[in-house]
Structure 1
Amino acid sequence: MERLAFDNIFEAVTDDPIEAADLRFRSDLLTTLVAIFEDRKWKQSDIATALDIPQPRVSELMRGKIQLFSADKLIGYLAKLGVRLRPSFSAEHRVVCDVIEAA
């Protein structure tokens, strides 16, 4: 039996490399948001207030329903929290992205 291997789990979901990249990017954004919420020890009510969204939407976010959120929306949520992404190019010729909190 042939064993399948993927560098990106989303490649198993779609044959379209652009869609797989978009899903992975949105997943990374969502994971970053959840990490911020956990670091701040926020409850869903705190998140709803900070992002100005209803609690059911927070629940979808926390349950990782990436198909319900665009990259633009997730970046907007980060901005509301005073967080931005700063991509750069490393000396090793790799793209890196720092998560920066506003002072």
Structure 2
Amino acid sequence: METQWFDRGWGHLEDDGRQAREMELRSRLLMNLQQGITDKGWNRDHACRWLDLSAARVDALLAGKIGAFSLDDLVALMEQADIHWRVSQQDKALLDHLIREQRAGTGA
């Protein structure tokens, strides 16, 4: 059996390259959001109030349930929590690629 290598962590789970890139970005945002919540010292109740989420949604967030949150959800939550994300060159390339794909798909 031939070994396959993937340049992104989600490539082996997603058949579609665009989905793999989006999952990679969502995972990075989710980890940054989790770290920001930890750094702020928020407990679950505080996170529920600050982020205007149910306890179940905060639990999903803290448990890393990436499928429970869209890319837009994660960006909005980071903004609401005032958590900033330093975009690396790799992240910038990923974002640029996703934006180009989205524009190509919408005809913009």
Q: What's the TM-score, normalizing by structure 1?
A: 0.77
Question: Larger helix proportion, structure 1 or 2?
Answer: 2
Structure with the greater relative contact order (CA < 8 A, sep ≥ 6): 1 or 2?
A: 2
Partner of 1:74: 74
Q: Does 1:53 align with 2:53?
A: yes
Provide structure 1 residue ranges, at least 5 long, that are not aligned to the other structure.
89-93, 98-103
Letter of the 2:43 counterpart: K
TM-score, structure 2 length as denominator? 0.74
Richer in strand (by share): 1
**Distance in 2, Cα, partners of 1:65 & 1:54:** 15
**Residue 106 (structure 2) aligns with:** none
Q: How does 1:36-47 map to 2 (within 5 A)?
A: 36-47=36-47
**What is the letter of the counterpart of residue 11 of structure 1?**
G
Alignment RMSD, CA only? 2.0
- Closer, same or farther: CA 59–17 of 1 in aligned 2, 3 Å: same
Question: Alignment identity in percent?
Answer: 30
Question: What is the aligned residue count?
Answer: 92
